[in-house]
Copies of this chain bind each other. A is one copy, B any other.
Amino acid sequence: MDISDLPRSKWDGTPLLSAPEAIAKRRAIRKFDPDRPIPDGLLKQILGLATLAPSSYNTQPFRFLVVRSQKNRERLRACAYGQPKVGEAPVVIVVLGYHYPHKTHLPAIVDQSVRLGTMTKEIGASVVGMASAFLERVTNRDEWATRSTMPAAATLMIAAESLGVSSAPMEGFEPTKIRQEFGVPDDHAICALIALGFAREEPEFPGRLPLSAVCFEEHFGQPWTLGEP
């Protein structure tokens, strides 16, 4: 996406949420309004923002299989233990992590950076070499693709919330069935499903562990001393 053309308000003209608000107000929604579709332009904003997530050497291994037709959402629902929200939300995204972006997309990615002036042609050539060497050494390609794709999934949900669209990430699905039904090849990890739409509920915040339970200071196991008990 063209980052000089960021959304300046929600689709309905009301103010965008700040990043902390969007992060804090996002809840995993169970009930979506099936009669309220996401306008094409709004979906495009959300996906465009998701692509701005970081990835190693800007290889962008994230892929978004956008399922919108009722028929296909019902097929997807059958691959996701029948979860009602897959049939109800107007958009469900199958988030995929591609194993080999350095083999197929890196030259185009680097050419773009050279065109935008962020690197010279010579540096671009050396980046292609370094990135390819680094990514060739990856031993677990499914894990690498997943690790490199989930930041885009999180970015997508924060962007959606900021723009007034609710979401629900899901890991309850059968990858083999999705591969069969939607033609996803083995060189793409199936990382998550994300339902998008307008909520028909307002779930409360379920809480989080205190920082003292999830942070360590300087060494694993050493308690966090930054002012929280």
Contact = CB atoms under 8 A, between A and B. Distances in A.
Nearest to A147: B146
A47 B220 contact: no
Contact of A116 (B66, B96, B204, B224): B204
Interface string A157-176: 11101110000010110000
A14 interface: no
Nearest to A144: B171
A136 interface: no
A188 interface: yes
A117 B118 CA distance: 51
A128 interface: no
- Indicate how many identical chains form the complex: 2
Counting contact residues on chain A (CB < 8 A from B), the size range is 35 or more
A126 interface: no
A48 interface: yes
A28 B53 CA distance: 10
A105 interface: yes
Interface in A40-65: 40-41, 43-45, 47-49, 51-54, 56, 58, 60, 62-65
Contact of A158 (B19, B28, B214): B19
B18 A218 contact: no
